[in-house]
Structure 1
Amino acid sequence: MRQSYLELYEGGEGEIVEKKSRFLATIRPVKSEAEAAAVLEETRKKYWDANHNCTAYSIGVRNERVRCSDDGEPGGTAGRPMLDVLLGEQVHNVCAVVTRYFGGTLLGTGGLVRAYSRAVQEGLADCVILDKKPGQEILVTCDYNGIGKIQYTAGQMGVHTLDTSYTDIVTSRILVPEEQTDLFMKKVTEATNGRAVMELLGTPYFAEKDREILLFEE
């Protein structure tokens, strides 16, 4: 069975200041290493006069491709801590670039690790992250006597009716979490005495944003 996962949907920015050094986080959604490279290049052009542009990204629902770079900072003080934040938050398909403007005071190894980590956390706080869940889109066809029972069943189970069409019959597109599909179909069959006809239309991932259901074909 497919698993739910968190994915970056809309990017954001964050900034912290540590002993006069500025750390600017740029967080963007990416689906490939080429897209991650483009985010880094765009950030470098924007902050062309910065001392460092350190990166970390995680691509794929199982973190199939992860990379990080210290970009001249002492080894293990920037890219890896940034990546650890992304992996710890379990956000997928995300690229983080933290730009540093040196403030004249050395932060030491621990100070750098904390600063780069905090910058990524600040950036993520400005992002939109979706909880994407596997679902099944089902077309339910019934007569007018059965639609109320179907709607009641959907409401009781907390599944989403995407739309309903009323002609000589009633058809509803219903989005059911994958793990609830068998139970939903069983309850609809029982409620309508087997008169409802159900057809699988697709198996999208779905997420809720601002009370709107978003569908994703993957």
Structure 2
Amino acid sequence: MILFRTAYESGKAEYVVEKSKFIAHVQPVESYEEARDFVNTIKNEYRDATHNVPAIICGDKQEIQWASDDGEPSGTSGLPMLKMIADEGLTNIAVVVTRYFGGIKLGTGGLARAYTAAAKLGLEAAGICEVLDSSVMIYTVEYSYLSKIKNLESGGVFEIIDIQYTENVTLTLQCLEEETKNVISIMSDLTSGKAILEKKEKDKIRVKIT
């Protein structure tokens, strides 16, 4: 099941209009507190900028939304960015667009378009992913089965996220939650029931879509 959509990774992009430089910074976050920390970090790093305009959305259903114009005319920067991010269906994300004023005023409409355009470029740089429920399973298997399991991984049903080599091989597998029973069956059939499932727990997986 898809839980939400967010940025795949950190992203940064520049946009120049009428000699003003806009720098978009995008960060996926786990909480509103983490988002505010990110905003403060960018403001500190770019404290010589004319403006650092933030927009934050958090919560699986976009319950928390916050933006600031940071000195720009009211409603011309933070809110347009926030609306664009919300309309894209994104959450658990922080975006800050830094502006270095180039000496030419853009007007209210021009400001809204510029900040939104910069934020979109930042999202493109970060990429978009879907966050889904997953299962993580730790198996102990004999060495003789390792190559066959690796070959099956290429089929895309599961991913091997860790391998430990001791007397036997300990594999950590991750799959979509709905594929859990299928993976357990595959591992049993492949090893004639010799694969030992040591641990199974729920987690989340990020699948990049753009």
The TM tier, using the shorter chain, reads 0.7 to 0.9
Which residue in the other structure is 1:113 paired with?
A: 112
Alignment map for 1:176-187 (pairs within 5 Å):
176-187=175-186
- Matched to 1:20, the amino acid is K
TM-score, with length taken from structure 1:
0.71
Paired letter, 2:54: T
Which residue in the other structure is 1:9 paired with?
A: 9
The percent identity for this pair of structures is 34
User: Is the radius of gyration larger for structure 1 or structure 2?
Assistant: 1
Deviation string, structure 1 residues 183-215 (Cα, Å, up to 9, x no partner): 122233344554444343332324489xxxxxx
Q: Tell me how far 1:181 sits from its aligned partner.
A: 0.7
CA shift, 1:51, in A, is: 3.9
| 1:179 Cα offset (Å) | 1.5
Q: Is the 8 A contact 1:30 1:94 kept in 2?
A: yes
* Match runs of 1:36-115 below 5 Å: 36-48=35-47, 50-115=49-114
Contact 2:52–2:98 at 8 Å: present in 1 too?
Answer: yes
Which position in structure 2 is the counterpart of 1:137? 136
Q: CA deviation at 1:29?
A: 4.3
C-alpha distance 75-136 of structure 1, shift in aligned 2 (>3 A): same
Conserved 8 A contact 1:58-1:92: yes
Q: 1:104 to 1:146 in 2, by over 3 A?
A: closer
Q: Distance in 2 between matches of 1:44 and 1:145?
A: 55
Change beyond 3 A, Cα 1:140–1:108: same
Match of 2:21 in 1: 22
- In structure 2, the residue matched to 1:163 is 163
Q: Which residue of 2 aligns with 1:213?
A: none
Report the count of equivalent residues. Answer: 207
Counterparts in 2 of 1:179 and 1:6: CA distance versus 1, 3 Å? farther
2:204 alignment partner AA: Y
The runs of 5 or more residues in structure 2 that have no matched partner are: none
Report deviation, 1:149: 5.8
Q: Which moved more, 1:32-41 or 1:171-180?
A: 32-41
Task: Give the CA deviation at 1:78.
Answer: 0.9
Q: Is the 8 A contact 1:8 1:91 kept in 2?
A: no
| TM value normalised by structure 2 | 0.73
8 Å Cα contact 2:6-2:28 kept in structure 1? no
Cα RMSD of the aligned pairs, angstroms, is 3.5
> Taking structure 1 as reference, are residues 85 and 150 closer, same or farther at Cα in structure 2, changes over 3 Å only?
same
Query: How far is the alpha carbon of 1:116 from its aligned partner?
Result: 0.5
Residue type at the aligned position of 1:94: I
